[in-house]
Amino acid sequence: RSTWAPAQARPCWRWCRILNRRPAGPSPSRSSTVGRAPSPQGVLRVEDEILSESTHEFEMAWHFAEDCKVSLLEGGALVQTESVELQLSWPPETRARCVCGDTNPPRGWISRRFDAMIACPTIVVSGRNLGHWRGVTEVQVNVLSDVRNAR
């Protein structure tokens, strides 16, 4: 759970982010992911970096709760529940797709108890780079009930 998101935002905050990288050949490399504290406007910055001298393919998977509605946009996505919107934007040199309940490979599933799988939306952002790479993903939180109450 996020400790900084308003209580109304927590239903959509059941997400995790995973960075996978695959070298195209033998190459020493390392990667790092850093989440920056949210700004006063509620923007979380996630910075990914791959240090390598060779070509790498990489994927960033964003997993959301099963009741979230995911819409892919140009360079980002809109993730909605009844009370919260998340707007994501990722590095321009990447491409994204949404999976939900895929079996080969298995992606887009959540299991809250033994032997019970529920399909859930997962955004997979992927790219290919030669040498060092750094990308920033931003997540903007909009609590819809606050917007509706302000009207």
Could you read off the pLDDT of 119-132 as tens digits, one per residue? 999 999 999 888 88
Give the contacts of 146 (CB within 8 A, at least 6 positions apart).
Answer: 6, 8
Q: In this structure, which amino acid lies at residue 101?
A: G
Higher pLDDT, 2 or 11: 11
How far, in Å, CA of 63 to CA of 132, rounded? Answer: 26
Tokens representing 101 are 């309940």
Which range has the top average pLDDT, 44-53, 75-84, 139-148? 75-84
Band of residue 90 on the pLDDT scale cut at 50, 70, 90: very high
Distances (CA, A) of 40 to 1, 5, 141: 19, 11, 11
Give the contacts of 11 (CB within 8 A, at least 6 positions apart).
Answer: 65, 67, 81, 82, 83, 84
Q: Environment class of residue 29 by beta-carbon count within 10 Å: exposed (0-12), middle (13-18) or buried (19+)?
A: middle
Tell me the one-letter amino acid at 57: E
Rounded CA-CA distance 98/107 in Å is 10
The DSSP letter of residue 15 is -
Residue with tokens 């990722």: 90
Note if the pTM is more than 0.85: no
Q: What is the mean pLDDT of residues 12-20?
A: 48
How far apart are alpha carbons 36 and 54 in whole angstroms? 28
| Per-residue pLDDT reduced to its tens digit, 17-72 | 555 555 555 555 566 666 666 667 778 888 888 888 888 888 888 888 888 899 99
